[in-house]
Amino acid sequence: MQILNGSGSGHWLLRLLFPLLYTSVILSVLNIVVITIFILGRRWLSLRKLTYSTRMKEKVDAALVEYLFGNKKLIRENLSLLNQGIAVKEIVSLYKQTLGAKPENLKLLFDELELDRFVMRRIRFSRWFDRITYIDAVQCMLVYHAEDLITPYQYVSNPYVRNVAQVACINLSPGNAFSFLNVLEDPLPVWHQIILHKTMVRNSIPLPDFYEYLRSENNTVVLFALNMIRLFSQTGSEAEIIALVSHKDPIVRRNALRVIRDLKIFGAMEIIKQRFHNETLRNQVGMVHALSLDKPQETFDFYKSIWIDTPNNVRMEILKHVGPFLKKMLLAGF
């Protein structure tokens, strides 16, 4: 009787589990089908979008070539009917690649099609990677009335949007181009410093007083200011440069030494001598370069006093920067 009862319980258990199993299999198959349809649908939409973009790009490119070398009025009307986003990208791309009077013609076309309104609207409502494209378009086409719209993007957390907005504001507001440095808390990457320098040179941006940024709490801003002072040989308060020889950041101290050497700031010689033994080896080499500005006899006396405690690689650098007579005296004395 127990065996019968046991098999009877198993029979009812199987009758209960089989429907659940069938249901799970059916749901799994449906799930796979739905996912497959979704993937294929996305793929189809992507291909369709790519095909549309390619064809539209070809039409815009052909229209731009005809505009530059053919019937401007007719082509202007045709361009106004094409995709504005693609038209903006192609006009900006061609603007960057052409020389002579052609860029001005493209800018005139940009204004006539009122693409500045379209671009400003897209800056407000686009995703960050599209926003970068449209901010770049604004600065290339010199849409000055977009400055107030772009200014807040100089301080966003996204570094790509932030950096392109800073470059745009430099082009659109040369009189107050570097005001963002006063409040910048995020690091200023080296590659972006290079872009800012190239922008100033390429567009003849009036130089701000970079000495006012030497007191910034952001070390990367201080480094950028030092590099610009050195590259443009900008004159200003020598005391501001000399004070940075004692800065807490060794990279800032190293760049300050380069400025002292290149701008021939003779008043820094004493503090350099005082801090020599407290510096890193790399900065000691920079100090040797800067001390080449000092009087030979005073430099020799200083080197003589530190020679014993100086590492060999720094000694070799010293010997490169003293005259043959002083070099002989140093080697003879020790």
Tell me which residue range forms the domain holding 109.
53-113
Number of domains present in the structure of the chain: 3
Q: Residue 41 has which token pair?
A: 């649908």
Which tokens sit at 210? 């970079």
Identify whether 42 is part of a domain: no
Q: Same domain for 195 and 251?
A: no
Structure tokens at 47: 């291909």
Longest dimension (CA), the chain: 119
Q: Does residue 309 share a domain with residue 247? A: yes
pLDDT in tens, the chain (334 residues): 444 455 556 667 667 777 778 888 888 889 999 999 999 999 999 898 888 888 888 888 888 888 887 767 767 777 777 888 888 888 888 888 877 777 888 888 888 888 889 999 999 988 888 999 999 999 888 888 888 899 899 888 898 999 899 888 888 876 677 888 888 888 888 988 998 998 888 888 888 899 999 999 999 999 999 999 999 999 988 999 999 999 999 999 999 999 999 999 998 899 998 888 888 888 888 888 888 888 777 877 888 888 877 787 888 877 777 767 666 766 665 5
pTM as predicted: 0.73
**Residues 218, 334 share a domain:** yes
The enclosing H or E element of 283 equals: helix 281-291
